[in-house]
Structure 1
Amino acid sequence: MKMIHTNNLFALAAAGVLVFTSFGAIAPEADAAMFKGKSELTFDTTNTNGTYNQFNERGVYLGQNPSPRYTIEDVTQSLYGNYRSDVNAEKAFVLGEVTHWNGKTVEGTEPDSLTYAVNYDFKDKKTPDQTFTFTVNYDAGTTGESDTYFIDGVLTSNETFEFKGNTYALQLLGFGTNKNNVDTSFTTGGLYSNTDTNVYGQFVEVSAAVPTPTAASLGLISLAALAFRRRKRSS
């Protein structure tokens, strides 16, 4: 029986490792998404600049109806269902979908903004579920014209969370039907029409909170007092 030379044996072993690595059998999962979970978009109508009538957490009448028996006022709703995501940081994904009915509203009763509340349920239960809030501006057009929702550039949530030793927040990117073409405004159709749009966001890493000048001053005073007490004890 022929014996395999030692050098040839090592060569075969190296080739085997190369083949398995090339096909991902033992290669690390480098492209695994960081954030897996599902989101839903609701409304928080604590803004009092206008008349709200919230018929559920997903639907809001935007102003007073001039003729309740004959017409419907402006209405915004978030569509039912959770939107699953499997993304890395700084990658856009759908937070939810909203629809707007352009009706008739008494002038001066419409709000100038409303709050989107994005509830995110992490698949990794080590990370607590989060709610992120954003203020979205609203401009009710005159009767018969389009209404507009808009944000002043990309918005970063005040709410943050810890993930694998880093601090993250959610950003509201804007509106659209394609994550590669997101706009900071959404214009509806004309009178008596429904218009839908996706709402997009992304997770971003943020810096740890910077101490305020007052907090920094108190910290220095405390250190000075501690040093004074130590010197007094040693004397």
Structure 2
Amino acid sequence: MPTGGGATPVIETRGLSKAFRRSTAVDSVDLTVRPGRIYGLLGPNGAGKSTTLKMVLGLLPPSAGEVRLFGQPWNRPALSRVGASINGPSFYGHLSARQNLMVHGHLLGVPEAEVDRVLASVELNASDRKKAKSFSTGMKGRLALAIAMLGNPDVLILDEPQNGLDPEGIAALRTTLRRFTDTGRTIVLSSHLLGEVASVADDIGLIAQGRLRYQGPLADLAPDGDLERAYFTLTGAGHGAGAMTS
């Protein structure tokens, strides 16, 4: 399993904050995401995970703090090295998976062979005649992942990619994510599902009420092996929230 060592972080935030009119969604978050690893961004629904990732991607302006990509202050050209799926799949319902990818591939300037590669990697190459609007939730999630993977980005940022996947689909996703980082690339995986993140992540960032409660190796989050107890202790959530740990 890659370690990232002392390499320059691919994503770093310093005092990153976002305030809306009546609330603070993200409060002075300092993330450090190192290359070659899967970074699991955990926290209850509404904790500030998606807002944090949107600021990293330039989709929301920070109220305070800064974002650094690949060791440099945030700049739009650096986003060409980042693939992302935020807030669910975005696609043309009247087109097939391949046609959707061809549209995105044209915008990115990637060859047709790259479209075929990512289609095969998410096992959608057999659905060429089916329109995306008729896809199952799991198939839509796989299409979103394929779009994010176009162009072989150095970093993937994925928000709740397990949503709608059956157990077989979740197992396939785990394999795809690990294969991606085995080449030295990096994934940031946001979720409220503790068990799924724990099954793939090398490092954990745990956000609750907009603040970073823990950041570090997964093994150090709960040295006694009780990840659920550590999660609930740090987030202050009640033990009845079974969906968070499924």
- TM-score, normalization by structure 2: 0.26
> Larger % of helix: which?
2
The structure that has the greater radius of gyration is 1
The answer to which structure has the higher strand fraction is 1
